Amino acid sequence: MAKKPNIILFGMESLRRDHMSHYGYKHMTTPHITDYARGGVTFNNLISAHIPTTPGYASMLTGMDCFGDGVVALNQKEIPVDTPVLAEILRREGYTSTCVGFEGNAAGVGYDKYLNFQGWGPDHEDGRAHKSENMNEVILPELDRLAAQDQPFFLFLRHMDPHSPYLAPAPFQDMFFQGDAFDPSDDRMQKVYDFKPFGDYIGSWVPKGCTNPDYVIGQYDAAIAYMDACIKVVLEKIRALGLEEDTIIIFNADHGETLYDHDCYFDHHGMYDPTLIVPFIMCWKGHLPEGIRIDDYCQHKDLVPTLMELMGIDPGIKFDGRSLMPLIRGEKLEAEEEIYITECTWMRKHGWRTPEWKLIVSLEPDFHFKPMVELYNLYKDPLELNNVAEENPEVVEMLRTRLENHVAKREAETGRPAPIKTNFLMNNRPFVSSQEDYDSKYIGGIEDAVKLQKK
């Protein structure tokens, strides 16, 4: 029997699809990923239906939606239902596994080996964050070890560069911004600093006196380009070890980033498309078609079922997701364009997204003082700038009915309440007002963010 293929999954934290040159961005941020993706399949519309990190990776690594895996919130310490993650499924098939930079997450279980690296703030005399270089110091020797063994392996890599703080080192740091970051007549950053929950945190890594948000966005783009260059080193190592034809390479992200959009300030909350639509690329030299792009909507829950069919594995699991292999083969697959979406970390909301409409319903007041109901026409307003809920009550009612029917259906199928109903933002109760929510939240500097993430 032929040896099963290895799997290397690049889990790229907070990576916006529309800031990758591979997906048409104006800056050349991902030339090396693009070069590699020419040998595989690119999905143009993968939705991270459950944000942020913990539910995103849970869905990605279980093949389940939030009802199936029970995860909607960042602070959930474990998957609360009996459903295996990819590492556990593969162990049954004779795989060994290594996890880099993901220990302690609810979905980061089942690995044979865990490796960590310095992944957050400034860690060098230049005052910049060398996240992917630190990661490569761990990855490259581990690839040598894995390549020398007889068993197939699963290697999960959690890249942190696009996650704030955006502090890519030279020569990347000024690659995409050459303007005036300190123009005293530009007051656009002031509202960021004045936003109490995040202002001091962002001010701790943005240069003192910075007034231009385009500078910060340029730093985000630089972090992507830096990560891309470091990923190139890993891809070359895979080639040098002769692993390409025996290894499935996947590029995916847990969620995107809001940057200056929607007043969410360089984070990944708010169920707007910059946070929901993420990259998804699969390559397996000699086994997958080369250079094709698929526009059909798909979700994180589809990744594991797709892998199972591609690898010829029947794990005996009824996934909530479905295999995308028919699309890869050029066959028809019934569209799944209406999507239930959730977020539950800084704000607790759920919604319903169709190709034309997005409905967002708050389940408790949020710290941005946003309306409890938002409706966007994605055809006419793709940037989601105009909330048209009041002008379209019949559309709100139609979409709310679809949302509630879907929730009721999935609750009946799983025998459990929707997890968004049982996960609150504070003290097991909803906030009574946006002001109470706003007053309860505060991140200090980078060190405080690290502690919060670990907690």
Which domains are seen in the chain, by residue range? 6-328 (3.40.720.10), 339-454 (3.30.1120.10)
Q: Give the per-residue pLDDT at 451.
A: 57
> At a CB cut-off of 8 Å and minimum separation 6, what does 57 contact?
11, 102, 105, 106, 107, 108, 254
- Summarised one tens digit per residue, pLDDT across range 351-407 is 999 999 999 999 999 999 999 999 999 999 999 999 999 999 999 999 999 999 999
Q: Count Cα atoms within 13 angstroms, Cβ side, for 80.
A: 18
Q: Is the pTM of this model over 0.75?
A: yes
Residue 449 has what pLDDT? 56
- Nearest to residue 258, comparing CAs of 248, 244, 268? 268
Q: How far, in Å, are 98, 117, 222 from residue 101 at the CA level? A: 10, 6, 21
The CB-side HSE value for 449 (13 A sphere, CA atoms) comes to 20
Question: What local confidence, expressed as pLDDT, does residue 3 receive?
Answer: 80
Question: Cβ(18)–Cβ(277) under 8 Å?
Answer: yes
CB 47 within 8 A of CB 335: no
Residue 360, pLDDT score:
98
Instruction: Provide the mean pLDDT of the chain.
Output: 95
Helices and strands (DSSP H and E) totals, the chain: 15, 14
Question: For residue 272, what pLDDT is reported?
Answer: 98
Distances (CA, A) of 26 to 20, 82, 180: 9, 44, 20
Q: State residue 308's pLDDT score.
A: 98
Question: What is the predicted pLDDT for the residue at 1?
Answer: 40
Residues 198, 452: contact at Cβ < 8 Å? no
Residues 6+ apart with CB under 8 A from 408: none
At 447 the pLDDT is 62
At position 335, the amino acid (one-letter code) is: A
Q: Provide the β-strand partners of residue 114.
A: 99
Which positions of the chain have pLDDT values less than 70? 1-2, 119-120, 445-455
Helix axes 131-148, 213-240, angle to 10 degrees: 20
pLDDT of residue 453: 53
Q: Burial, 374: exposed, middle or buried (Cβ in 10 Å; 0-12, 13-18, 19+)?
A: buried
pLDDT of residue 450: 58
